[in-house]
Amino acid sequence: MALPLEGFRVLDLTVVWAGTFGTTLLADLGAEVIKVENVHVWQPMTRGGQARPSAEVVKAGAGWAVGYPNAEPGPRPWNYAPTFVQQFRNKHSMTVDLLSDEGREIFANLVSKSDALVENNASGTLEKLGIGPDFLREAREDIVVLRMPAYGSNGPYRFARALGVHLESVMGHTLLRGYPDLDPSYITSIFSGDYVAGAHAAFAIMSALRHRRRTGEGQFIELAQAECAGGMLAQAFMDYSMNGVVQERIGNRSLDGRAPYGLYPARSEGDGSDAGDRWISISVMDDDQWLGLREAMGDPEWARDPGLRNEAGRLERHDELDGHISEWTSSQDDYELMHLLQSHGVPAAPVLDSSRVHDDPHVQHRDLNEPLDLYDDVGTFRYNRPFLRYSETPLRIRKPPVALGEDNEYVYLDVLGYSNTEIEGLRERGHIGMDYDPEIP
C-alpha cells in the first residue's frame, strides 16, 4: 500500500514555521515536497537567524534559538538551526536563482510538473519575483496554490509584517492570556498561530486536491493566518458576540470555572538547578475528581470542609485551595504526583522542560524521535518523527531533515530532465549549490 499522498508533488516556498509545518505534514503523508531555495538570498528565520552565526552568538542565546549541534556553528549552520531543522524531514531541497530569467524558466518547468505550491512569504513577494498567479497558472493550469498572508491579500493590513505572535495580538489572544495580576508587558511570546495555520494548510491542500480530482479545477487558496487563529479564541469571541462581554486574563485558571485548576510547585529527580523550578498541573474537572484529589492528599482536614464539595464553593476560595495544595505538592516528585493523582482520576502531569522530553516513558513508547545523521557529519542526534499514526500506511522518516540543495541532482536530472552538461552550466551560473554566498552573514 502506498502512503496517502504518494504521487503528489508539492513545491515548498515556505518560510519560518506556519507554512513550513504545513508542508512537513504533507511530506510526512507521502507527498514529494520540494523546498525551492536560493543560495544568493537569505530568508530570515527560515534556516536560522543568520546564515553564519558567530561562536559568540551561538554561545549566548536560548537553546531553542541557537542551540546548534555540540554548541558550535558547524560547517553549514543553516542545515542544523534548532529552531527550524525539525520541519525539514521528508522534504527535498533544490536551489535555483529566482532573481534571474533563467531561474524563473527553470521554476516554470518545475511548476508544470507539480500538483501544488505552498508559500507564506511577506505579501507581494511572489509578484515581485515575477512568479505570481498568472505565471503559475500559465505554467500549470490546474495548479493548487496556497498562500498564507498574515492578514489577507486585501485591506489596510495586507502588507503588515508579522510573525504568529503579532497577528495573535491583533486577534486578541495576547490580552486574553498571561498573569492577571501583572502588567501586560510581562506577557511573553507564544507560537500557536503558526501551529493552527500550518495544520489548516495541509488540510486545505488535500481538500483542494480532492476538489481537483472531482472537477479538474485547480485554485488559489488564501489562508490569512490571523483569521485562521480565530478558532483558538472561540469562547471569547462568542462571549462578546452573545453577551457583549470582553473577557479578561485568567492565567492558568479554567475558562469553564473548574476548580482547583492550576500549576503547583513540585520537585523532580536529577539536576534541576539551572532550570530552577518544577511544576505539576492539576485540573479538577468535577466534584468526583475533587473527591479523588482529597483521597490522593490523604483527606486533610481543610479539604473536608463541606463548602468545598461543589464547584462554586471551590471557585470562590480558589486562592485558599491553591495555598493548601501547594503545601502538599511542593515537597513531592512531579511524576509521582502525576501517577498518584491520575490513579484517583484527577487530570495532572508535570510541566516538562525541554531537557526531560526524551526521557519520558510516553515519548519513548510512542517512538516520537529517531537518531539520525544528516548531510554534514556533525554527529548523531534524535529528531522528531511524524506524529500521525496510521495502522496500514505507517508514516516514517523517509529522508532525514534536508540540507540546502541536497537534492539538486535528483530534481534537475530526474524531475526536470536536464542533461549533465546543462547542469554544469546551471551550476556555473549560480543556480545550483549547497552553500549560501560567502558574503551573507
Partner 1 sequence: MTDQHGPLEGVTVLDLTEHIAGPYCTKLFADFGADVIKVEPPGGDPSRSVGPWYQGMPGVERSGTFFYFNTNKRSLVLDLEHDGAGTVIERLIQRADIVIESQPVGRLDSLGLGWERISSLRDDLPLVSISPFGLDSPYRDYRISDLVLYGFAGEMYSIGVQDREPVKMFGTASLVECGAAAATATMGALTAAELQGIGQQVDFAMADAQFNGVDRRHAATMGWEFAGRKSLRAPGPAAGMLSGVYPCADGYVEFSGAAIRIPRLNDMLGRPDWLQEEKWWRPGAGVIPELVEEFNAHFLPWALERTKREIWAEAREAKVLCGPLFSVDELFEDTHFSDRGFWATANHSELGDVQLPGRPLIMPASPWSLRRPPPLLGEHTDDVLSECGFEASEIEAMRRSELIG
Binding status of residue 188 toward partner 1 by CB under 8 A: yes
Span 273-302, contacts to partner 1 by CB under 8 A = 274-277, 279, 281-283, 285
Span 398-437, contacts to partner 1 by CB under 8 A = none
- Three-state DSSP at 197 gives helix
Binding status of residue 353 toward partner 1 by CB under 8 A: yes
Which letter does DSSP use for residue 327 in this model?
A: H
Binding status of residue 107 toward partner 1 by CB under 8 A: no
Binding status of residue 354 toward partner 1 by CB under 8 A: yes
Single out the segment in contact with partner 1 by CB under 8 A; choices: 23-31, 91-99, 301-309, 405-413. 23-31
Binding status of residue 87 toward partner 1 by CB under 8 A: yes
Span 118-147, contacts to partner 1 by CB under 8 A = 122
Minimum distance, C-beta of residue 434 to partner 1, in the bound complex (Å): 20
Question: Judged by CB under 8 A, which of 304, 358, 396, 429 binds partner 1?
Answer: 358
55: Cβ contacts below 8 Å, ≥ 6 apart: 72, 73
Binding status of residue 112 toward partner 1 by CB under 8 A: no
| Contact predicate 130/74, CB 8 Å | no
Angle, nearest 10°, between helix axes 287-296 and 334-343?
Answer: 130
Show the site string, 51-70: x = touches partner 1 by CB under 8 A, - = not: ------x--x-xxxxxxxxx
Q: Are strands 261-266 and 278-283 parallel, antiparallel or unpaired?
A: antiparallel
Single out the segment in contact with partner 1 by CB under 8 A; choices: 126-134, 364-372, 404-412, 414-422. 364-372
Span 311-340, contacts to partner 1 by CB under 8 A = 338
Question: Judged by CB under 8 A, which of 41, 99, 108, 160 binds partner 1?
Answer: 160
Binding status of residue 80 toward partner 1 by CB under 8 A: yes
Binding status of residue 191 toward partner 1 by CB under 8 A: yes
Binding status of residue 441 toward partner 1 by CB under 8 A: yes
Minimum distance, C-beta of residue 303 to partner 1, in the bound complex (Å): 20
Binding status of residue 109 toward partner 1 by CB under 8 A: no
Minimum distance, C-beta of residue 328 to partner 1, in the bound complex (Å): 16
Question: Judged by CB under 8 A, which of 347, 376, 397, 434 binds partner 1?
Answer: 347
Decide whether 41 or 190 has the Cβ nearer to partner 1.
190
Single out the segment in contact with partner 1 by CB under 8 A; choices: 96-104, 178-186, 296-304, 403-411. 178-186
> Which parts of 285-368 are beta strand (E)?
348-350
**Cβ neighbours around 92 below 10 Å, total:** 20
Instruction: Give CA torsion, residues 254, 259, 262, 264, to 10 deg.
Output: 180
Question: Judged by CB under 8 A, which of 75, 179, 288, 409 binds partner 1?
Answer: 179
Hunting for cell 490571523 — which residue is that?
A: 226
Single out the segment in contact with partner 1 by CB under 8 A; choices: 104-112, 124-132, 376-384, 421-429. 376-384
- Residue by residue, DSSP assigns 22-66 as HHHHHHHTT-EEEEEE-TT---TTTS-SSSS--HHHHHHS-HHHH
Hunting for cell 479538474 — which residue is that?
A: 216
Angle, nearest 10°, between helix axes 164-171 and 192-215?
Answer: 90
Minimum distance, C-beta of residue 89 to partner 1, in the bound complex (Å): 10
Alpha-carbon distance 272 to 269, whole Å? 8
Minimum distance, C-beta of residue 429 to partner 1, in the bound complex (Å): 30
Show the site string, 223-262: x = touches partner 1 by CB under 8 A, - = not: xx-xxx-xxxxxxxxxxxxxxxxxx---xx-xxxxx--xx
| Helical H segments across 85-228, by residue range | 101-112, 125-129, 133-139, 164-171, 192-215, 225-228
Output the nine-digit C-alpha cell for 418.
Answer: 536536464
333 burial level (CB within 10 Å; 0-12, 13-18, 19+): middle
Residue whose C-alpha is closest to residue 200's, from 13, 18, 11: 18
Binding status of residue 2 toward partner 1 by CB under 8 A: yes
